[in-house]
Structure 1
Amino acid sequence: MTASEIRQQFLDFFASKGHQIVPSAPIVIKNDPTLMFTNAGMNQFKDFFLGNKVPASKRVVDTQKCLRVSGKHNDLEEVGIDTYHHTMFEMLGNWSFGDYFKKEAIAWSWELLTEVYKIPKEKLYVTVFQGDASENLPKDEEAYNFWKQHIAEDRILLGNKKDNFWEMGDTGPCGPCSEIHVDCRPEEEKKLVDGKTLVNADHPQVIEIWNNVFMQFNRLKDRSLEPLPAQHVDTGMGLERLIRVMQNKTSNYDTDLFMGTIHATEGLSGKKYAGTDDKKDVAFRVIADHIRAISFTIADGQLPSNTGAGYVIRRILRRAVRYYFSFLDVKKPLLHDLVPVLAAQFSHVFPELQQQADFVKKVIFEEENNFLRTLDSGIRRIEDFIQNATTKAVDGRTAFELYDTYGFPYDLTSLIASENGFSMDLEGFNAAMKEQKDRSRAATELDMGDWVVLDETPDSIFIGYEQLEGTTKLLKYRTVKAKGKEQFQLVLGQTPFYAESGGQVGDTGTLHFGEEMIHVTDTKKENNLTIHFADKLPAQPTATVKAVVAKEKRRDTERHHSATHLLHAALRKVLGTHVAQKGSLVNAENLRFDFSHFAKVTDEEMAQIEAIVNEKIRQNIPVVIRELPKDEALKLGAMALFGEKYGDTVRVVVMDPAYSVELCGGTHIGSTGELGQFKFVSEGAVAAGVRRVEAVTGAKAEAFVNEQLQQLKAIKAILKSPKEAAKAIETLMQDKASLEKQLEVLELEKVRQLAATLRNQAQQINGVNFLGQVVTVSNAEGLKQLSFQLKNEIPDHVLLFVANVGGKASVALTIDEKLVAEKGWEAPKIIKELVAPLIKGGGGGQKTFATAGGQETDKLQQVIAAVKAMI
């Protein structure tokens, strides 16, 4: 069976058991502050387990794209080294929300594996929770007894809390679990060692294949457990491992799920994959795994960057580049050429990659190119360090600086060091890494208190499409500590406050608990909950609440949101249908819109787009909002955003059916005429293949235009040329350039004359010709020119020229290459240690030439004395 057939058979089996097949959620998490990425199949169903939302179907089945590269579930450093860990993987899962429980889950998993997939029963072991006295949790006798109906009792193993008790996080739903393991070893090995001794022992051929989680409890902040109001089943089976078992392979990477990518990499690298443990074959596995994680995450809307989720993706990409650079001897971008292979392979199950293949390929290519340049400069930096080192060791701080500042991996630093006979200070590197992680954790860590529940109503109702105030009650509240400050979070029974989503910022306003007024500073979503961030907790939490949204701020935000829809359509009309939204920010002040496009938007194109949007505003088109089944909305031509999870019923915003039809949950104006005016403020690049425009509407646009006109008026007044300001400025710039050239010639002549005067004034000190002088020049470049003119005329030189340039101290230090080699003097080091402290400044440069600048112009003679004393 192929990978596609195995996946489909799982879905079909559970559909035959009354399960609804649902699509994978995006791999990028939008409304959960505790997660960056979907790291388990249950993430998209979290609200059902928490009781925040009622599922449309009590039984569902799916295959979910998952990513595990950070936090508790971090497999990154194992990937490629072994045969079964992955960053991105597919989690097959069947789910029961308060419906069936242990009996059916166990029976069906056994039926599927042994009767449908026909895995020999003698290959399988199961584990059951043995209990935990410290938490007063008994052995899971129920699961044990159900398993006895299907498998020999000596193949039912007891597992501890670490292996057989599943928790969503530090708090939340949890419960005992029952794993199914498969022994893939050859028969002769099985005779030598009993398979049950290898279960959960990290044996590469005795692997966990499926986990049945029985959610029975809710973990509170104080670590205590309380029973959930309903019992749920959450199962997960790694598709990659299942395929390996079904195709009788010893490695996940030897299956058809990965071999297409590996064969393509062979063609690109000229190397052959042998499936061994050497670094070359590890590189093939790393690439085959990492290209999936990178591609699917970018397709779901997360671009590589220097922070947060974007940094995780950049780190995965750079790990793949480093492997092909070091071990496949490929020195040019390779990963981007694998995107079409991957897109075609998954087009029937995850079509979003095929639909964006060109865009994803472009982003990856630019990232590879940039990092290959970094690798090149990093290697030069290491070689420079080794060449000038006084001991045969690379200290941990240097290794960490290379990693942190230049993205240069520790193991590559270690490899280059060992090739040159240098040792590595791993302990020092780890200490520096820990310090950084501690700083990062302190800056981002959330300390969430338990909810104080006043009412068990499952979720709050949003009434903010129709009204901006309403009377309601407080359902629950909690205190959260973030970055050392307290936040107060409230959940209401119904709310007019829009929670930040789809680029639109959350509403602000007030909550009135009787006579007490509480300010709402922000509104956000946490899974399906609408969280109101308040400046304090109410004195009387059970009092009736009047919720009032800040109306003007909402209206200005709505204008900018509606403008993004008009803008999106205009961009596609002028630039092409390849344009797709890649991010947006909509608030009361302006709008920011990111979109896929591979070139700068020209001034002519910007003017054309702006004209189209303003024409639509003048037409005063009614903004029609309808709720439709998703399939019907898509047939109407509604644009859906990649990386968004839509329900079966969607909200469709129409601004002329022939112009703009989009799926959108945000709030909008009644007609386009309410925008008044649309004006671009800026255009630029934010990432490879992604452009960003910023614009304003309404009164903000009017203010922006007036400000520009005032500036133009002031310029005309200064130029005394009210009719042709542009021409006057052009003439002024030409005159300026001409004068600067004349001045440059005069300055150079002045430097030549100064050099001639100073040529014979060097003092010989301990075999060194030292020339230290306070000089008069108009800029720092004059010091550099003076130094360069004299360095070839004075042997064994140390030249130090200092000047007061525009009220600031300026210094240039030149050292003969012979003295650098013989005495170990380096200009940047002398600048840093002797010069910079005196002038209260800083500087740097190369070993033979460095410059500095500082505040203390009265210390110039002291600078000369300090360097002279050193000699």
Structure 2
Amino acid sequence: MTSKEIRKAFLDFFEEKGHQIVKSAPMVVKGDPTLMFTNAGMNQFKDKFLGNEPIKWPRVADTQKCLRVSGKHNDLEEVGLDTYHHTMFEMLGNWSFGDYFKKEVIDWAWEFLVDKMGLPADRLYASVFEGSSDDNLGRDDEAASYWEKHLPKECILDGSKKDNFWEMGDTGPCGPCSEIHVDLRPEEERAKLPGRELVNKDHPLVIEIWNLVFMQFNRKADGSLQALPARHVDTGMGFERLCMAVQGVTSNYDTDLFQNIIGEIEKLSNIKYGTDEKTDIAMRVVADHLRAVAFAIADGQLPSNNKAGYVIRRILRRAVRYGYTFLSLREPFIYKLVEVLKNTMGDTFSELAAQQQLIEKVIKEEEESFLHTLSTGIKLLDEMVSKTRQENGTHIDGKDAFVLYDTYGFPLDLTALIAREHGLSVDEAGFSSAMEEQKKRSRNAAQLETGDWIDIRKIDQTKFLGYDTTEAEVRIARYRKVSQKKKTYYQLVFDKTPFYGESGGQVGDTGYLEQDGAKTIIFDTQKENNLTVHLTEKLPENPAESFLAVVNSEKRRETANNHTATHLLHAALREVLGTHVEQKGSLVNSDHLRFDFSHFQKMTDEEIEQVETLVNKKIRENSAKEENREVPMKKAQELGAMMLFGEKYGEAVRVIKFGKSIELCGGTHVEATGQIGLFKIVSESAIAAGVRRIEAITGKHAEEFVNDQINTLKNVREAMKGSKDILAGVTNLLKENADLSKKIEAFEREQTKALKNDLKNKITKKGDINIIAEQVQVENAAMIKDLAFQLKNEVENLFMVIGADINGKPNLTIMISESLVDQKGLNAGKIVREAGKEIKGGGGGQTFYATAGGKDAAGIPAAIEKALSFTN
């Protein structure tokens, strides 16, 4: 069976068992502060398990895109080294929300694997929870009894709490689980050692294939367990591992999911897979990481320097580095593999085809950038090797090695490899210490402690009233205390609320709760999954009573102006630039709006003006909002509503229409476009390959901006002494300035030439060293640098130290010929650091050229003498 047939067989099987087949949620998580990426199939159903969302279908099945590269689940460093770990993978799953339980799920798992997939029964093992005295739980004899219908007792294994008790996190739903393992070893190996001896022992051919989780407890903040009112089933099966077992191969990478990609890598590198372990690992890394990066970009996450974007950038850079080091691929190549990936998985995940051009462009630009960085990192490592040798060291400093890892993407093994080629080692303890310090900083920055929810009244879901009102009488349904970075606050959930929770790019509302004249400030409103959470610094005195909830209406109104303006902007961009324009992100608050969109070149001034004109025209038309809050998804698609890749939509959606602008949106908007007043674009820039960003303002902020520009123009006119043609006057002024600058540069060149000749006449010799040591008068530090490099090219065996007082600030420059650096071990950077102390400053640089600045110009003569002492 092909992977496509296996995936279809799974979904068809559970559809026949009465399950609703749902789409995969985006791999990039939004609205859940505990997760960056979807790392398990159950993530999109989290609110159902927590009781925060009503259950529409009691039985569900799907295939879910997952990414495990951060937090508790992090397989990144294993990927490629073995044949069964991945960053991005598919998880096939079936769920029961208060419906069937252990018996049915165990029977169906057996039926699917043995009867439908044809896996040999004598190669399967099941593990059950052995119990835990800490939790006062006994062995899961119930699950074991159901397995005994299918497996002999010796194939039913007891598993530890670590392996066979699944928990969502430190708190929340949890329960025992039953893992299914398959033994794929050859018969002769199986005859020597039974598979049960290798279960959970990291054997590449005795692997876990399916995990059946029986959610029946809630873990409280104090660590105790509480029985859930309804029992659930959550299963997850590694699709790649299933394909490996069904297709009869010994590696996930030998399945058709990866072989087409690896085949293309073979062509690009001219290296055959299966001939060398190092190149095999590199090809597996590239094939795996391609999938992770491509799906992340398709879901709206671009590589960047922080949070989820940094994780994606690291994954891509790891792939580039493996290609560079082991496949000798020195030019961008990963972007060329996107076409093969689309052909392999695009029928199930249409976003790959829809976003192909963007994915390729982003990956190519990232590759080009990192290949340059990689080259720079290698040069830096060469300098570290040289420095270590000069200091008669035997190993490269661990902190330096960590900088290479953190900044340039060099893993420790690559640094160690290059070091060994030069007869050196790496201080691994120092590297580990630096790594741990960084992890500690990250943990401290993200440290979040939450108490148990205190339930006051039971609700199915918070009803949102904010589309129609900014005030309402509400009751608190539940609350909890939260501590983060030594700050303590409370999260409140209401039975209904006029407050908009941050989502879809729109910030959360602020306002207050009022009861008997006492006000409790709500400083933010957030969405956690589907839960609207109101943040307050203190808990109201009588939380069980009713309150008047009041939204800051002015802030809401200005935010609505900006949100509606983003819809008008989106439509205008598509009209001016083309229908390839799609939203890639946004930020909407009361001050301004930010809109990211797909477009492959900088917008011209004319295009920006056209877009502004179209938006302001629509504002003047005062188009009324047309809103429908419960439109079936199919109907919304027929209407041509814009949908965003990476967003998870329900079966019924809210459609917002202003003229030709039709979008699915849950945000707040103006009743008619005239309320916006004025729209003004203040910047247009690139944020990634193929993605541009517009920042704009509306209403009073736009008026203030225009008035500031007019006042600036008036001031310029006054400075130009009332010139009627301001542009001509400024142009003439700039020309005069340029002419003067050229004259100054010519004068400085002559001054430098005269100073150079004077210094050459003052050369003294110490052995074979030509020494220049002087305090000089110059206009700027650039003149000294120019002078230093000219003298270096003209004087052999030069040791030059020059001091200067530039506008009251001491400057020290040292230039040393490479011949002296190599033969006598002189180091300009090291010398300038010591000499700089005399001017109460410091500096650094390269071995042959370095500079220092300071606070005490009177110390320049002593600094020069200090530098000269290194020539003794």
| TM-score when normalising by structure 1 | 0.97
Letter in 2 for 1:743: I
Asked if 1:631 corresponds to 2:631, the answer is no
Deviations 1:377-432 (A, max 9, x none): 11122223223422332221221111122222222112212222222222221111
- In structure 2, the CA distance between the partners of 1:850 and 1:670, relative to structure 1 (3 Å rule), is same
How big is the shift at 1:520? Answer: 0.9
How big is the shift at 1:304? Answer: 0.7
- In structure 2, the CA distance between the partners of 1:103 and 1:791, relative to structure 1 (3 Å rule), is closer
Partner in structure 1 of residue 775 of structure 2? 774
How big is the shift at 1:153? Answer: 2.2
Letter in 2 for 1:723: K
Q: Distance in 2 between matches of 1:760 and 1:693?
A: 59
The answer on whether the counterparts of 2:465 and 2:496 sit within 8 Å (CA) in structure 1 is: yes
- Greater alpha carbon shift after TM alignment, 840-849 vs 448-457: 840-849
- In structure 2, the CA distance between the partners of 1:840 and 1:497, relative to structure 1 (3 Å rule), is farther
How big is the shift at 1:667? Answer: 0.5
Q: Distance in 2 between matches of 1:531 and 1:733?
A: 56
Deviations 1:645-668 (A, max 9, x none): 000000001111xx2110001010
How big is the shift at 1:790? Answer: 4.2
Letter in 1 for 2:343: A
651, 655, 658: which is aligned to 1:652?
655
Q: Distance in 2 between matches of 1:769 and 1:359?
A: 58
Q: Distance in 1 between matches of 2:324 and 2:817?
A: 37
Partner in structure 2 of residue 372 of structure 1? 371
415, 418, 421: which is aligned to 1:419?
421
Letter in 2 for 1:224: S
How big is the shift at 1:148? Answer: 1.6
Asked if 1:259 corresponds to 2:262, the answer is no
482, 486, 489: which is aligned to 2:488?
486
- In structure 2, the CA distance between the partners of 1:602 and 1:838, relative to structure 1 (3 Å rule), is farther
Root mean square deviation, CA, Å? 1.6
Letter in 2 for 1:79: V
SS in 1 for 2:137: coil
Letter in 1 for 2:657: V
- Greater alpha carbon shift after TM alignment, 599-608 vs 754-763: 754-763
How big is the shift at 1:277? Answer: 6.8
How big is the shift at 1:795? Answer: 4.8
SS in 2 for 1:29: coil
How big is the shift at 1:152? Answer: 2.1
How big is the shift at 1:768? Answer: 4.4
Letter in 2 for 1:367: E
The answer on whether the counterparts of 1:514 and 1:543 sit within 8 Å (CA) in structure 2 is: no
Partner in structure 1 of residue 273 of structure 2? 273
The answer on whether the counterparts of 1:783 and 1:811 sit within 8 Å (CA) in structure 2 is: no
- Greater alpha carbon shift after TM alignment, 802-811 vs 437-446: 802-811
- In structure 2, the CA distance between the partners of 1:787 and 1:273, relative to structure 1 (3 Å rule), is closer
The answer on whether the counterparts of 1:783 and 1:802 sit within 8 Å (CA) in structure 2 is: no
Superposed, 1:137-536 pairs within 5 Å as 137-274=137-274, 278-388=277-387, 389=389, 390-536=392-538
How big is the shift at 1:460? Answer: 1.5
How big is the shift at 1:264? Answer: 1.2
The answer on whether the counterparts of 1:81 and 1:277 sit within 8 Å (CA) in structure 2 is: no
The answer on whether the counterparts of 2:318 and 2:409 sit within 8 Å (CA) in structure 1 is: no
Superposed, 1:814-833 pairs within 5 Å as 814-833=815-834
SS in 2 for 1:166: strand
- In structure 2, the CA distance between the partners of 1:210 and 1:788, relative to structure 1 (3 Å rule), is closer
Q: Distance in 2 between matches of 1:782 and 1:65?
A: 58
- In structure 2, the CA distance between the partners of 1:241 and 1:817, relative to structure 1 (3 Å rule), is closer
Letter in 2 for 1:7: R
- Greater alpha carbon shift after TM alignment, 777-786 vs 430-439: 777-786
Deviations 1:245-278 (A, max 9, x none): 111111111111111111111111111111x671
Letter in 1 for 2:504: G
Q: Distance in 2 between matches of 1:518 and 1:825?
A: 67
The answer on whether the counterparts of 2:832 and 2:867 sit within 8 Å (CA) in structure 1 is: no
Partner in structure 1 of residue 813 of structure 2? 812
Letter in 2 for 1:681: V
Deviations 1:180-203 (A, max 9, x none): 111111111111111111111111
- In structure 2, the CA distance between the partners of 1:421 and 1:677, relative to structure 1 (3 Å rule), is same
Q: Distance in 2 between matches of 1:553 and 1:131?
A: 54
- Greater alpha carbon shift after TM alignment, 713-722 vs 613-622: 713-722
How big is the shift at 1:769? Answer: 4.2
Q: Distance in 1 between matches of 2:304 and 2:682?
A: 24
How big is the shift at 1:74? Answer: 1.0
How big is the shift at 1:789? Answer: 4.6
SS in 1 for 2:296: helix
Deviations 1:189-232 (A, max 9, x none): 11111111111111111111111100000111111111111100
Q: Percent identity?
A: 55
- Greater alpha carbon shift after TM alignment, 163-172 vs 113-122: 113-122
- Greater alpha carbon shift after TM alignment, 860-869 vs 305-314: 860-869
Asked if 1:581 corresponds to 2:583, the answer is yes
Partner in structure 2 of residue 598 of structure 1? 600
How big is the shift at 1:766? Answer: 6.6
SS in 2 for 1:517: strand
Q: Distance in 2 between matches of 1:649 and 1:557?
A: 25
How big is the shift at 1:669? Answer: 0.2
Superposed, 1:10-25 pairs within 5 Å as 10-25=10-25
Q: Distance in 2 between matches of 1:299 and 1:799?
A: 56
- Greater alpha carbon shift after TM alignment, 801-810 vs 116-125: 801-810
SS in 2 for 1:250: coil
Deviations 1:719-771 (A, max 9, x none): 12442212211111111111111112222222333333343334445764443
SS in 2 for 1:666: coil
Q: Distance in 2 between matches of 1:796 and 1:358?
A: 55
- Greater alpha carbon shift after TM alignment, 551-560 vs 720-729: 720-729
Q: Distance in 2 between matches of 1:349 and 1:268?
A: 27
Partner in structure 2 of residue 57 of structure 1? 57
Partner in structure 2 of residue 693 of structure 1? 694
Partner in structure 2 of residue 674 of structure 1? 675
| Long gaps (5+) in structure 1 | none
Q: Distance in 1 between matches of 2:505 and 2:218?
A: 32
How big is the shift at 1:487? Answer: 2.4
The answer on whether the counterparts of 2:331 and 2:371 sit within 8 Å (CA) in structure 1 is: yes
Q: Distance in 2 between matches of 1:606 and 1:222?
A: 57
Superposed, 1:746-757 pairs within 5 Å as 746-757=747-758
Q: Distance in 1 between matches of 2:417 and 2:335?
A: 26
SS in 1 for 2:304: coil
Q: Distance in 1 between matches of 2:193 and 2:796?
A: 77
- Greater alpha carbon shift after TM alignment, 252-261 vs 549-558: 252-261
- Greater alpha carbon shift after TM alignment, 358-367 vs 71-80: 71-80
- Greater alpha carbon shift after TM alignment, 197-206 vs 718-727: 718-727
SS in 1 for 2:662: strand
Q: Distance in 2 between matches of 1:231 and 1:866?
A: 78
Letter in 2 for 1:455: R
- In structure 2, the CA distance between the partners of 1:788 and 1:34, relative to structure 1 (3 Å rule), is closer
The answer on whether the counterparts of 2:840 and 2:856 sit within 8 Å (CA) in structure 1 is: yes
How big is the shift at 1:788? Answer: 4.0
SS in 2 for 1:80: coil
How big is the shift at 1:704? Answer: 0.6
How big is the shift at 1:467? Answer: 0.6
Letter in 2 for 1:85: H
Partner in structure 1 of residue 111 of structure 2? 111
What is the aligned residue count? 867
Q: Distance in 1 between matches of 2:569 and 2:847?
A: 53
How big is the shift at 1:783? Answer: 1.9
Q: Distance in 2 between matches of 1:338 and 1:444?
A: 36
Partner in structure 2 of residue 708 of structure 1? 709
